[in-house]
């Protein structure tokens, strides 16, 4: 599993108008619609339902919203860099400016977990996050993610 299989260049975006978690989820829904032809409303609904189980803000300004959908056949992701951090109810109570959303088929088991682990390990690296925050160009962000070497699992 690598970012090349999870992420399309058109699923990377820098966003300047988001002021809340709900608005971020709407932005993710719109982007998933344009990049993967998924129903934006269903994407937002799935993210909100998953978030109700517990916040997906993992700390250090990073959120990993994720959900299962019944209308996709492989794990897909999208990356958003926010120009202004937002409150996300993160575990460390810090605002979020990096969001990587993952979507998996309802029946996906290990592939969903592998994708989540890859993204989590990669975005836990302060050097990778610093590069992402310093390069607000979608094609550069895509390249940084594809070149990142995640830390090995403990």
**CATH label of the domain that carries residue 96:** 3.40.930.10
How many other CB atoms are found less than 10 A from the CB of residue 148? 21
Rounded to the nearest integer, the mean pLDDT of the chain is 92
Examine the pLDDT at 152 and tell me if it is beyond 60.
no
* pLDDT-based confidence at residue 17 (cuts at 50, 70, 90): confident
37 part of a folded domain = yes
The Cα–Cα gap between 35 and 114 comes to: 22
pLDDT of 11? 94
153 part of a folded domain = no
125 part of a folded domain = yes
| Predicted model pTM | 0.93
Contacts of 136 (CB under 8 A, 6+ apart): 14, 81, 83
92 part of a folded domain = yes
Examine the pLDDT at 87 and tell me if it is beyond 90.
yes
16 part of a folded domain = yes
Over the stretch 22-32, which tens digit does the pLDDT of each residue have?
999 999 999 99
Counting the structural domains of the chain, the total is 1
The Cα–Cα gap between 154 and 145 comes to: 21
Contacts of 70 (CB under 8 A, 6+ apart): 105, 106
143 part of a folded domain = yes
Q: Find the mean pLDDT for residues 28-40.
A: 93
pLDDT of 154? 44
pLDDT of 108? 77
Range of the domain at 67: 3-147
pLDDT of 113? 87
The Cα–Cα gap between 32 and 136 comes to: 20
152 part of a folded domain = no
Examine the pLDDT at 8 and tell me if it is beyond 60.
yes
55 part of a folded domain = yes
Catalytic residues: 66
């Amino acid at each position: 599993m690598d970012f090349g299989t999870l992420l399309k260049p058109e699923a990377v975006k820098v966003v300047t108008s988001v002021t809340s978690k709900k608005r971020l989820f709407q932005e993710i829904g719109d982007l998933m619609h344009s990049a993967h032809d998924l129903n934006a409303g269903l994407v937002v609904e799935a993210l909100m339902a998953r978030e109700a189980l517990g916040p997906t803000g993992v700390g250090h300004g990073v959120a990993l919203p994720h959900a299962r959908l019944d209308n996709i056949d492989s794990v897909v992701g999208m990356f958003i860099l926010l120009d202004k951090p937002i409150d996300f109810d993160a575990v460390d109570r810090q605002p979020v400016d990096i969001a990587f959303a993952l979507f998996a088929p309802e029946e996906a088991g290990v592939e969903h977990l592998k994708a989540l682990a890859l993204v989590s390990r990669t975005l836990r690296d302060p050097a990778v996050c610093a590069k992402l925050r310093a390069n607000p160009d979608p094609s550069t962000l895509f390249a940084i993610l594809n070149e990142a070497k995640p830390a090995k699992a403990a």
